[in-house]
Amino acid sequence: MTDKKFSLKGKNILVTGGRGFVGKHVVSKLESKQPKKIFAPRSKEFDLRDSKICKKVVQGADIVIHMAANVGGIGYNREKPGELFYDNLVMGVHLMEEARIAGVSKFVSLGTICQYPKITSVPFKEDNLWNGYPEETNAPYGLAKKMLLVQSQAYRQQYGFNAIHLMLVNLYGPGDNFDPSSSHVIPALIKKFVDAKKRKDEFVVVWGTGNPTREFLYVEDAAEAIVLATEKYNKTEPVNIGSSSEISIKDLALLIKKMTGFEGSIVWDKTKPDGQPRRKLDVSRAEKEFSFKSRIGFEEGLKKTILWYFQQYK
């Protein structure tokens, strides 16, 4: 089972979350592989928290790529930990079970860097995944995703079910979520600086101390990694998907400030949480197993994202 390679040509592929930020790019790349059909159900029409809906959408699928998620930044995680745990756990558990019953040939579940312990040796290696509890502000979300890894390994052991698990860093790029109530740090900062520039504000307030570091992956690179893994990876071990670069939130804010042309100052609200102290992945497994390596440099990707935002919100 682990050595089986998948041609996507002529296959029926279910992509949950296929109309979302990352999903659109994944669907576009899948289309170039000449599948028979790609089905990307809309969340408004297909509530995947319902097992009956999951049973319905997996019928006839050869491959399932599960990308649908309830996700957001630190503020959103603090506000809705119960929803994030329940929604993400139940969607994945039901979908994988129904896919197994339906005889789906391969199941790809997307995890998150939030699965890692709060304090982890840098760069994060997949073998360190169980060495502690996740960072508190996003633990419910991270643990819900982590259980899909447990499920995929258990299903492979008992049923021979070919399920793989990919753990992605924070993604960014054109089309990201810029809603301040639920966005991640890059779109949140872009919006803050652009809006402040328009209003001619003297300063912008940014959460935390600015000391934590983060790793970011451009959305098109992420889509490439997901499709490559779908084609080529068939093993039980989880795989990190990232760029293996690291930048502090302080340097990130200064860079976005410069790129957006905001001339005021930055005020750090140290009453707000920093989140995990450092985040940087060891991505050697992805390169070894399915030849993935990120191609878009961080400043290049950031420029594209800011330009897209300016064009959308003139």
Reported residue count of the chain is 314
**23 labelled binding-site residue:** yes
DSSP 296: S
Q: Where are the alpha helices (DSSP H) in 51-184?
A: 51-58, 74-79, 81-102, 139-159
pLDDT for the residue 5: 67
For the record, the structure tokens of 296 come out as 């878009």
**210 labelled binding-site residue:** no
How does the average pLDDT of the chain come out, rounded?
A: 95
The residue ranges of the chain whose pLDDT is under 50 are 1-3
Would you say residue 207 lies in a domain?
A: no
pLDDT for the residue 90: 98
pLDDT for the residue 195: 94
pLDDT for the residue 276: 85
pLDDT for the residue 312: 87
pLDDT for the residue 74: 83
pLDDT for the residue 97: 98
Would you say residue 310 lies in a domain?
A: no
CB 193 within 8 A of CB 205: no
Distance of CA 279 to the CA centre of its chain: 14
pLDDT for the residue 4: 56
pLDDT for the residue 182: 82
Would you say residue 78 lies in a domain?
A: yes
| CB half-sphere exposure, 55, CA atoms < 13 A | 4
Q: Which residues are catalytic?
A: 141
Would you say residue 211 lies in a domain?
A: no
**Distance separating alpha carbons of residues 207 and 210, to the nearest angstrom:** 8
CATH number at residue 235: 3.40.50.720
pTM reported for the whole predicted model: 0.93
Would you say residue 309 lies in a domain?
A: no
Would you say residue 269 lies in a domain?
A: no
**Distance separating alpha carbons of residues 286 and 238, to the nearest angstrom:** 10
**72 labelled binding-site residue:** no
CB 216 within 8 A of CB 186: yes
Q: Which domain holds residue 125?
A: 12-172+216-242+279-295
**20 labelled binding-site residue:** yes
Would you say residue 45 lies in a domain?
A: yes
Would you say residue 284 lies in a domain?
A: yes
pLDDT for the residue 181: 83
The number of folded domains in the chain is 1
